[in-house]
Amino acid sequence: MQEILRLSLALCSESYLVGGSVRDTILGKNKITDLDIAVEGDGFGVAREISNQLSVKSSFVPLDKKHRTGRIVVPEDHGQITVDISSFRGSNIGEDLIGRDFTINAIAVHLWDVINGRVAQNIFDPLDGRRDIERRIIRICSETSLSDDPLRMLRAFRFASQLGFSIDPGTRLGISKSAKLIGNVSGERIRDELEIVLHCNRSTQIIEQMVETSLFWEIFPELLPTRGFEQNAFHHLDVWEHTIEALENMENLIENLESVFGVFSDRIREYIYEQLVSGRPRIWLLKLAILFHDSGKPFSLSVDEKGRRRFIGHEKISRSLILEAGGRLRLAARELSEVSSWVGGHMRLSILNLENLSDRALLRLHHKSGVHFVGLILIYLADISAARGTARKAEEFTRARMGAKKAIELAFQEDEKTVKPLLDGVQLMEEFGLEQGPRLGSILRWLVTEQALGTIRDQEQARQALHRYLYQHPVNK
């Protein structure tokens, strides 16, 4: 780290440590691995030259040629050091800081003072950012901060969730007035900020704050019809209020896995924090699924002859809505597959609160849900706990928790077994005229399920069962 700072000074005497690294130093964080340096000269060229001169292995990443910003990445045993070097946004460091997003990030220290351990004594702070850090306040640097880059509206909430800070009332008002500008920001940039917000354990509060400024509805207009939309006697809240309570339930469940799943909690925690895409663990997708799980209800309402409100097939509409929103956010294919499968399949787990639920029914549910099973269980528990209407019996919640734990236990036991289909895919295609594709995979999973349940024990029984299955579930041409 010191070598990078010295090389930057040697190449450009007006080099400053800026942004989050200074903020985190003031907050007392010991290990800082992401640095931002602003230089009077060509930041892009300085970063490239430092990477070339470093005595340790490093790589240069061109971030923004237009604004002359380059990145140096230095691998370490347990991670990496990332240093972004940019040219001044203006003629000097003062103009650069005024053009930044929030006052807590508009603080600079000359690299010479950093090297000599005089950070606290020689902070350049024209916007009183240090005071805002001490007050735990997020405040914009200028009246044009949000219009200069509308993503900063979402970044304000991201910093609030990460740091536990509050957003200054004037900044919140500015976000409310400028919320529509978020439509000018690319889906990828919005996705990356949302992932951080939903990853945090207090994201429910942050989402509610985003709703108050209307920024949330500008990002997810599909969800606006759920606000104030009345449900039925199984619910005590409207659709949006139910969604928010379910989101909070999900966060509480993740923090208290042991109380529900006991010895299986570590495996579930590993599942929750597995990265489907580098740097993006599954946890944010589970919360995104909660936000969309009932989004189809306003579009599926029917009222029966007794005046009861029903939402038959709402999960299918909800699935189409998350697919649309996920595509807009440029989710990876695997992410989109998981979140849409959870949303589209969440009603399938309603059997968990039934009396006398058999192991056979749970195994069939597991096999039908496939790799999405654990996520569906978590979403189901968060969902039903937020549905406490007069038609809901108190014992249903106890059965739901017991059913979920039993389902997880059976699923994990089943996953440890290796059950080979009595008839493989080639045989199914040759003997039954099936084609390669999802339909074939679905039938193979059904066959494995029946074998696990003991209803099929040899190839002849498998062929007979398949004939019946295909007669009852004909292929749509």
Residues in the chain: 477
Domain of 178, CATH number, reads 1.10.110.30
User: Does residue 385 lie in a domain region?
Assistant: yes
Query: What whole-number distance in Å separates Cα of residue 48 and Cα of residue 264?
Result: 48
- For residue 86, what are the β-bridge partners? 38, 69
User: Does residue 270 lie in a domain region?
Assistant: yes
CB 407 within 8 A of CB 380: no
Mean per-residue pLDDT, 449-468: 84
User: Does residue 225 lie in a domain region?
Assistant: no
Q: What is the pLDDT of residue 55?
A: 86
Q: Using one digit for the tens of pLDDT, what is the confidence trace for 300-312?
A: 999 999 999 999 9
User: Does residue 334 lie in a domain region?
Assistant: yes
Sign of CA dihedral 18, 6, 3, 57: positive
Q: What confidence category does residue 477 fall into, taking pLDDT thresholds of 50, 70 and 90?
A: very low
Q: What is the pLDDT of residue 314?
A: 97
- Same domain for 144 and 22: no
Domain of 48, CATH number, reads 3.30.460.10
User: Does residue 229 lie in a domain region?
Assistant: no
Sign of CA dihedral 458, 461, 467, 473: negative
Query: What whole-number distance in Å separates Cα of residue 93 and Cα of residue 89?
Result: 8
- Same domain for 263 and 380: yes
C-alpha distances in Å from residue 114, one per residue of 12, 321, 350: 15, 50, 59
Give me 346's structure tokens.
């969440």
Number of domains in the chain: 4
Q: Using one digit for the tens of pLDDT, what is the confidence trace for 38-95?
A: 999 899 999 999 999 888 888 899 888 777 899 999 887 667 888 999 999 889 999 9
What type of residue is 326?
Answer: G
Range of the domain at 42: 1-130
- Same domain for 368 and 246: yes
CB neighbour list of residue 344: distance below 8 Å, 6 or more residues apart:
315, 316, 318, 319
**Domain limit, last residue, from 170, 188, 219:** 219
Query: What whole-number distance in Å separates Cα of residue 289 and Cα of residue 341?
Result: 9
Q: Which helix (H) or strand (E) holds 286?
A: helix 283-292
Q: Using one digit for the tens of pLDDT, what is the confidence trace for 149-180?
A: 999 999 999 999 999 999 999 999 999 999 99
